[in-house]
Chains A and B, each alone.
Chain A
């Protein structure tokens, strides 16, 4: 048994919330630099230039890239050999979020009840998923998910016979309908298979992968490349004002499914794609 103290979890989560909100990911930055060069629309080009300048300012001044500092989503992988001491893991995660959002001057964007809509004033709760895995480590993957892009996400229960073409058509229609709203250039996470909930969960998980890493499954990697090309032919462009850079990346995750179904979830993320990984 390896012991992990909740204090370390609190500290790590708090730090990750702040870091990912202040510092743009290397993968996104590289993609924006390329997009600035390839963009043919003059407005689009200047917008991407401003996004790069924005990330520079945020990093230098240690302030958030975007004011929507998101709702926190955490995937925790707990090695079977790990023993959590000092308190409850769930409490530690929520406390880490609370401390990070306070200390980092991040916006508190969570309402405690979706209908009564009273702000919880500390950005909790975050959404937390747990997986028990082999080994003696605790892996924490954390994202601060903005809702301009979350709101443009969609689910569809396709027919098995719709196949890959059906998936492609659905993804393209979701991106087209989203238009300027999710602050393009965007990152597109696609979850295919499982059940309604599983498809949504793996679509979210897809957004945790860096955009310069392809799916390990060759035909899925091809689909990612093809979809990215087709999305960028839609013309939406930076901020929806026209151009050839609508998406920076497409990440797809699969899960086995039922003989009668083909669930697909498209989870959209913006260029402010904030995620981080840590091991304890």
Chain B
């Protein structure tokens, strides 16, 4: 299991170099978006309007942080469960989304599209929001402020720890790992 340092934005080459099981430390810019923000992004694409950030090469983090206390950059900011975004992810991958950070499994459609469009899915530790917050250096709401916890935030991160759980070659840790420890039939 290699530790790889990754700088955003991602390219096809950097994505293809990542293998399920790799631990990474991400640095650069990532964008948070969860359920309601995805609905708006899809709506924007359908209407042919401009998206609030450059999707090509970007990483979306499925997360809705808790409010920053005074003097803090951000509150707790761990991942939310990804499957709820599955259907809305396909159009984003077509437009060049290269990375997603969340927790939990993805649909076969998403996994296939990740191979076609060369994208990678990272897991951050669900429930480790206070720990993850230490990697966030800057935090700005850039769209959909009215959605409260679900607004899109631009985060500048340094050494954001994650695990490659599904790579662009179709390897999936959620498929391969649990069976190694299963002791019932």
Say if the beta carbon of A14 comes within 8 Å of chain B. Answer: no
Chain A residues 205-259 with CB under 8 Å of chain B are 230, 233-237, 239-244
A66 touches B78 (CB 8 A): yes
Given A64-B76, A181-B104, A105 contacting B184 (CB threshold 8 A) = no
Nearest Cβ in chain A — how far from B60, in angstroms?
Answer: 16
Residue in B76, B105, B134, B163 whose Cβ sees the most chain A Cβ within 10 Å: B76
A242 touches B181 (CB 8 A): yes
* B131 and chain A: residue at smallest CB distance: A54
A243 and B182 alpha carbons, distance in the complex (Å): 8
A119 touches B178 (CB 8 A): no
Binding stretch for chain B, among A55-63, A128-136, A157-165, A191-199: A55-63
B75 touches A57 (CB 8 A): no
Interface range, B side: 35 or more
Say if the beta carbon of A13 comes within 8 Å of chain B. Answer: no
Given A51-B128, A180-B104, A180-B105, A244 contacting B75 (CB threshold 8 A) = no
A241 touches B165 (CB 8 A): yes
A109 and B36 alpha carbons, distance in the complex (Å): 12
Interface residues in A, total, Cβ within 8 A: 50
The digit string for B88-121, where 1 denotes a CB below 8 A from any CB of A, is: 0000000000000001110000000000000000
* B82 and chain A: residue at smallest CB distance: A181
Selected from A58, A68, A179, A242, the residue in CB contact (under 8 A) with B104 is: A179
Q: Which residues of B contact A107 (CB under 8 A)?
A: 64-67, 75-76, 149
* A242 and chain B: residue at smallest CB distance: B177
Given A119-B148, A271-B127, A233 contacting B182 (CB threshold 8 A) = yes
Binding stretch for chain B, among A2-10, A39-47, A73-81, A89-97: A39-47
Say if the beta carbon of B69 comes within 8 Å of chain A. Answer: yes
Nearest Cβ in chain B — how far from A101, in angstroms?
Answer: 9
Say if the beta carbon of B81 comes within 8 Å of chain A. Answer: yes
* B80 and chain A: residue at smallest CB distance: A148
A183 touches B133 (CB 8 A): no
A148 touches B181 (CB 8 A): no
Q: Which residues of A contact B174 (CB under 8 A)?
A: 179-180, 240-241
Given A235-B179, A235-B181, A241-B165, A119 contacting B130 (CB threshold 8 A) = no
Selected from A40, A42, A61, the residue in CB contact (under 8 A) with B130 is: A61
The digit string for B138-173, where 1 denotes a CB below 8 A from any CB of A, is: 000000000111100000000000010100000001
- Interface pairs (14), CB distance under 8 Å: A41-B180, A41-B181, A54-B127, A55-B130, A62-B69, A68-B64, A107-B64, A107-B65, A148-B80, A181-B81, A181-B105, A237-B178, A240-B104, A271-B127
**For the complex of A and B, 10 pairs with smallest distance between CB atoms:** A242-B177, A235-B182, A183-B126, A235-B181, A58-B130, A54-B131, A67-B76, A107-B66, A181-B104, A54-B128
Residues on A lying within 8 angstroms of B by beta carbon are: 40-43, 47, 50-51, 53-55, 57-58, 61-69, 105-109, 117, 119, 121, 148, 151, 179-181, 183, 230, 233-237, 239-244, 270-272
